Structure 1
Amino acid sequence: MNLSYFIARRITQNKDKTFSSTVHKIAVASISVGLATMIVSFLILKGFQNTVTDKIYSFSSHLQVTKYTLDNSFEEYPISINTPLYNTPELFPYVDHVQEFSHKAGLIKTDDAVTGMVIKGVSERFDQERFKQNLKSGRFIDFSDPSYSKEIVISKSTANKLDINLGDDIIVHFFQNPPRYRKLDVVGIYETNLSEYYDDKFMIGDIRLIKKLNDWPDSIAGGLEVFVKNPDQMDYVEEALNEAVPLDLWVQKVSDKYVQIFEWLHLISRQVNIFLGIILFVVCVNMISIILILIMERTQMIGLLKALGGTNALIRRIFSLNGVQLVAKGLLIGNLLGIGICVIQYYLKIFTLNPKDYYMSYVPIGWNWEIVLALNVLTLLVVTAIIIIPTILISRIRPIKSIKFD
């Protein structure tokens, strides 16, 4: 057996109630708490990013193709949907799904209140599976009516504001000349908690209703929504589609359209990275202090080993291996603690949030084992490298003085 490893293991396995055993426990606790905190922080960050982006993309897709215009109103300039992108999306290998949409501004009128809203018209091609996470009660629109569906899905905040329940009829007045209105049946209630962008502004209806109000033929719509197979390649897909569509059309990433939310997520990510650096710094400082303490406590042992012919390199390996064993034990406990907390929160949702401020009602957990593995490797490499620093002190210890050291 390797001599340095044997001595290091004996030091680590010291079960007596000595000062060094207490120092070992402090070292393990420091690494465990640090790693657990990092795991929880990054998985919560991933949960925030996944939850918010999934809500945005489920409502607005990854990319939108619209008429190029400087007008910022909700009344779109219509585009033709008789394009290869819409009719044969399989020709674009990076595209997962394409659906049309249109917007129409109006007023919801009940017996007691009136509020302005925008109806988002969708068709049977609307990806209901992605939107399912936002549907809190009721169902989605039934498109079986040969003319157009008179059903509508409204947000939970609008339903509460106007005291509307599932199955109620509402009168929607549309802004146009001459003004028109339609009586629609509320069949579903959705909630994204993104009130500023969706819940307080949009209701979802049949696009054929909007086409009929605007006297549009079936071949045109307000725009196209495009879901990509790999969201990480969105910049490439945006550029490719801009080259593929006619020059009067504009392909825009939804992340650019709602840049405030994505900047907020980026800010959180940067803060978590800073937090990671602080934790690693604290753990490294603790390990340096602990190795120094162990060296001071084992000064007589160091002197004896040197007197018996032990080299500085051999003794440094002893304390380095001792530190690595402490790090390994700390990583094991830290993983159990951090992942355990995340599992409890994932299933029980103990920690809640104010959805008005955080766009969700509980602290989310986004499982990403690559992040967990990366944190373990990073902690192991950084702390192990730092452990070498205090062992330099060993070369300055003289055998005669160290054996007499008390």
Structure 2
Amino acid sequence: MLFQTISWIVFVANRVRQRSSGVFSATISKIVTLSITIGTATILIASMVLLGFQKEITKKITTFVGDFEITKYSVEASSTSLQGGQISRLMANLPSAIEKITPFTQMLMLAHTKVGVEGIWCKGIDPMVDHTALEAYLVVGRLPDLTKSTYQNEWCISHHLAQRLSIALGDSVVVHTVHPTVRYRKLKIVGIYCTYLTDIDENLAFCDMRLMQRLNNWSSETVNGYTIFLKDHVTPTKTLRDTILDLIDYDLRLIPTQRKYINFYDWLAIIEKNTTIFILFILLVAGCTMVATLIVQLMERSYMVALLKVLGAYDGQVYAILLYNSLRTLCRGLLYGNILGLGLSFLQAHYRCITLEPALYYMCYVPIYTHWKAILFPNLLIFSTLSVALYFAIKWLRQKKIIEALQEG
């Protein structure tokens, strides 16, 4: 019996739709389909752009400074040192969320150029670790040569610092350390990188970790701290932070990158909030349009409604016919919207047609993150929201008894 009822509803709905090609509701249906298409494409693109910003900026930050840093409690971070044994329990019981832990050294160096003297934080990178991720941000040149048996007097600085200090690839710069003793070195610039993240580009340079250990008179096992890199799609939660703290010595501190570079994460939170408001407005407009279409179809089909009632159709069956046609319009708009949105996203992801001002957006192009979750969840959100809007519209129509009013008229 249920199957026969559904078959009858589908049959009548299809006949109504075929006979509606020249009436006013057909034009309204096309406008609604276009509205849902544009709304779906806009929401898809907005979601993928938002995730693109989050992924790209987070990737830049974590590539250079990791997700956590382990250092000693001290006012001056560059003056502290720790040994590998202080994190031996962490290395022996490495949580599954952690991809790798790498040592680092850091030191404030004063660079002498024709422009003047500039203070730069220099970070020593470990020769035993693969730094392919860092190389992806090089504009010209390379990282300091870490393959030699001894340290090299080489430097990799940012494009921002190179412009500010009026130096270029291949130049040699005299630098001197302040702590623990004043020592001079002539470092050759072998690479220039660029991230467009001001807190990194304005302050950070890279050199051989062994050079900094030599300047501090440290052994090869002594470093300033350790950088923790998490696996992809793993969020640095408080639970994970507490787990790591339990596995390291009590005199060590764990610094989350999100707290160290909080201004970038606050900016991402603002972008996310604005995008959410934008999506809600689109859903509101699309929902009102769908409800208006349903009412127009009902008003226009007053004679059909009366005829179906005379033939013994229930109110629920009449509304099911209208709902079926509305859902077809919704699904057609979703399909066209996905084709349009994914097509435009594909063009932007591969050809980077739309550019940005790096000083404002920390990137030179609009990023796109194409992942199945970024496609599925917006579609489910649109379909469920508009379906709920149609449900409440039908419920409201039942309460107003519009069918009876139409029949009386």
With structure 2 as the length reference, what TM-score do the two structures score? 0.91
Q: Note the 1:249-288 alignment, pairs <5 A.
A: 249-288=252-291
For structure 2, list consecutive stretches of 5 or more residues without a partner in the other structure: none
Q: Does 1:61 align with 2:61?
A: no
Aligned partner letter, 2:404: R
Aligned partner of 2:322 among 311, 319, 323: 319
Aligned partner letter, 2:127: E
Per-residue CA deviation, residues 130-160 of structure 1 (Å, 9 max, x unaligned), is: 2232222211111234331111111011112
TM-superposed deviation, 1:92: 4.2
TM-superposed deviation, 1:18: 2.4
For 2:267 and 2:106, locate their aligned partners in 1 and report how far apart those are by CA, in whole Å.
Answer: 27
Name the residue aligned to 1:30.
Answer: 35
Q: Is the 8 A contact 1:167 1:185 kept in 2?
A: yes
Aligned partner of 2:292 among 289, 298, 305: 289
Name the residue aligned to 2:46.
Answer: 41
For 2:208 and 2:69, locate their aligned partners in 1 and report how far apart those are by CA, in whole Å.
Answer: 19
- The share of aligned pairs that are identical, in percent, is 30
Per-residue CA deviation, residues 332-356 of structure 1 (Å, 9 max, x unaligned), is: 0110111111111111111111111
Name the residue aligned to 1:8.
Answer: 13
Aligned partner letter, 1:263: D
With structure 1 as the length reference, what TM-score do the two structures score? 0.92
Aligned partner of 1:51 among 50, 56, 61: 56
Query: 3-state DSSP class of the match of 1:281?
Result: helix
Name the residue aligned to 1:142.
Answer: 145
Stretch of structure 1 that moved more, 313-322 or 259-268: 259-268
Q: Give runs of ≥4 in structure 1 deviating > 6 Å.
A: none
Name the residue aligned to 2:364.
Answer: 361
Query: 3-state DSSP class of the match of 2:235?
Result: helix
For 2:236 and 2:177, locate their aligned partners in 1 and report how far apart those are by CA, in whole Å.
Answer: 39
TM-superposed deviation, 1:173: 2.1
Q: Does 1:159 align with 2:165?
A: no
Q: Does 1:224 align with 2:226?
A: yes
For 2:323 and 2:180, locate their aligned partners in 1 and report how far apart those are by CA, in whole Å.
Answer: 81
Aligned partner of 1:103 among 100, 103, 106: 106
Q: Note the 1:121-140 alignment, pairs <5 A.
A: 121-140=124-143
Q: Note the 1:389-400 alignment, pairs <5 A.
A: 389-392=392-395, 393=397, 395-398=401-404
TM-superposed deviation, 1:126: 4.1
Name the residue aligned to 1:208.
Answer: 210
Q: Is the 8 A contact 2:157 2:205 kept in 1?
A: yes
**Residues 387 and 25 (structure 1 numbering): CA distance in 2 closer, same or farther, change over 3 Å?**
same
Name the residue aligned to 1:307.
Answer: 310
Q: Is the 8 A contact 1:136 1:189 kept in 2?
A: yes
**Residues 13 and 334 (structure 1 numbering): CA distance in 2 closer, same or farther, change over 3 Å?**
farther
Stretch of structure 1 that moved more, 41-50 or 212-221: 212-221
For structure 1, list consecutive stretches of 5 or more residues without a partner in the other structure: none
Q: Is the 8 A contact 1:67 1:78 kept in 2?
A: yes
Q: Is the 8 A contact 1:122 1:207 kept in 2?
A: yes
Q: Is the 8 A contact 1:80 1:221 kept in 2?
A: yes
For 1:379 and 1:236, locate their aligned partners in 2 and report how far apart those are by CA, in whole Å.
Answer: 34
Query: 3-state DSSP class of the match of 2:296?
Result: helix
Q: Is the 8 A contact 1:74 1:105 kept in 2?
A: no
Stretch of structure 1 that moved more, 312-321 or 378-387: 378-387
Aligned partner letter, 1:55: K
TM-superposed deviation, 1:84: 5.1
For 1:172 and 1:34, locate their aligned partners in 2 and report how far apart those are by CA, in whole Å.
Answer: 56
